[in-house]
């Protein structure tokens, strides 16, 4: 009886793993045939099953872009980039999508060291940073072992060890910063045009502060019923209907 249950579980897992792959191939076929709505339906059904990959979000973004849904294509590309931060195709397509946005806030150039720090943090995922830091720690441990037992001698190895310790601390510092940023921050993308931003939730009781259009990435501050309070990168804050924004992963 136990063997039958185990066999059933294994078969279920195998079939569960096959379903998203089959659907992904179906979606790609629809894309190649120009049936973008069918492709979107298929890709979205994979997400509803709880499966997500950078390639899935990338193809979904392409399908939305072909239907001129700038907000939803930007949402998909941002998700793809969070999983594959160095993918040139994703970066390019996101830039093309951003160029078509009506609302674009130009921020002043940051201090050069801060800009470098942000770039390093953005091109690696949290797991990659932890992996790099772990590899550095392993190399440092081997260096200490060899130096301690006289297998390596000379001041140059101690200088190398010191530099590696500094780099390791920096890598782990960036990883910690990225971890807490992901924990405390929640972002979304506006998916509708002409969205009025109110001073508070509910239409009747509040005034319109400003209007935003699809494709803009915003920080989510809080939610209340069917309303979401957002913060723009220039610091503007207001409430919008929840249906006009899609949350990023």
> What is the chain's alpha carbon radius of gyration, rounded to the nearest angstrom?
24
| pLDDT at residue 13, rounded to an integer | 47
Signed CA dihedral, 128, 107, 214, 239: sign only:
positive
Question: Percent of the chain at pLDDT above 70?
Answer: 90
Q: Model's pTM, two decimal places?
A: 0.81
4: pLDDT confidence band, cut at 50, 70 and 90?
very low
Dihedral (C-alpha) 24, 28, 33, 37: value to the nearest 10 degrees?
Answer: 60
Section 210-221 average pLDDT: 92
Can you tell me whether residue 140 is helix, strand or coil?
helix
| pLDDT at residue 20, rounded to an integer | 85
| pLDDT at residue 179, rounded to an integer | 86
Q: How far apart are CA 39 and CA 72, in angstroms?
A: 14
Helix (H) / strand (E) element for 229: namely: strand 227-231
Per-residue pLDDT tens over the stretch 118-159:
888 888 888 999 999 999 999 999 988 888 887 887 788 888
3: pLDDT confidence band, cut at 50, 70 and 90?
low
Question: Percent of the chain at pLDDT above 90?
Answer: 55
Q: How far apart are CA 65 and CA 70, in angstroms?
A: 6
Which residues are bridge partners to 187 per DSSP?
219
| pLDDT at residue 107, rounded to an integer | 57
| pLDDT at residue 105, rounded to an integer | 64
Query: What ranges make up the beta strands (E) of 106-226?
Result: 187-190, 195-198, 208-212, 217-224
Per-residue pLDDT tens over the stretch 12-23:
444 445 678 889
Q: How far apart are CA 216 and CA 222, in angstroms?
A: 18
Domain ranges of the chain: 2-99, 112-184, 187-247
Q: What is the CATH number of domain 187-247?
A: 2.30.30.40
Q: What is the CATH number of domain 2-99?
A: 1.25.40.10
Q: Does 187-247 match 2-99 at the fold level?
A: no
5: pLDDT confidence band, cut at 50, 70 and 90?
very low
Q: How far apart are CA 38 and CA 26, in angstroms?
A: 9
Mean pLDDT for the chain overall: 86
| pLDDT at residue 154, rounded to an integer | 78
Q: Which of 4-18, 101-115, 149-163, 208-222 has the highest mean pLDDT?
A: 208-222
Q: Which of 231, 232, 195 is nearest to 107 (CA)?
A: 232
| pLDDT at residue 112, rounded to an integer | 81
Find the angle CA(205)-CA(198)-CA(215) to the nearest 5 degrees: 150
| pLDDT at residue 18, rounded to an integer | 64
In angstroms, how far is the first alpha carbon of the chain from the final one? 41
């Amino acid at each position: 009886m136990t063997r039958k249950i185990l066999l059933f579980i294994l078969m279920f897992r195998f079939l569960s793993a096959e379903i998203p792959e089959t659907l992904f191939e179906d979606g790609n076929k629809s894309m190649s045939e120009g049936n973008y709505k069918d492709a979107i339906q298929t890709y979205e059904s994979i997400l509803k099953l709880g499966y997500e990959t950078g390639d899935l979000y990338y193809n979904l973004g392409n399908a939305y872009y072909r239907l001129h849904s700038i907000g939803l294509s930007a949402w998909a590309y941002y998700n793809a980039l969070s999983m594959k931060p160095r993918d040139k195709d994703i970066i390019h397509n996101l830039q093309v999508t951003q160029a078509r946005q009506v609302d674009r806030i130009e921020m002043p150039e940051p201090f050069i060291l801060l800009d470098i720090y942000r770039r390093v943090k953005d091109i690696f995922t949290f797991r990659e940073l932890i992996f790099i830091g772990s590899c550095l720690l392993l190399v440092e441990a081997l260096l200490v072992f060899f130096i301690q037992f006289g297998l390596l001698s000379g001041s140059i190895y101690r200088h190398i060890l010191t530099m590696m310790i500094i780099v390791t601390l920096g890598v782990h510092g960036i990883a910690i910063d990225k971890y807490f940023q992901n924990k405390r921050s929640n972002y979304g993308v506006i998916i509708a045009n002409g969205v009025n931003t109110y001073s508070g939730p509910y239409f009747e009781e509040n005034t319109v502060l400003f209007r935003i259009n699809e494709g803009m990435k915003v920080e989510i501050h809080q939610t209340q019923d069917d309303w979401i309070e957002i913060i723009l990168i220039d610091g503007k804050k207001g409430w919008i209907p929840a249906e006009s924004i899609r949350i990023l992963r």
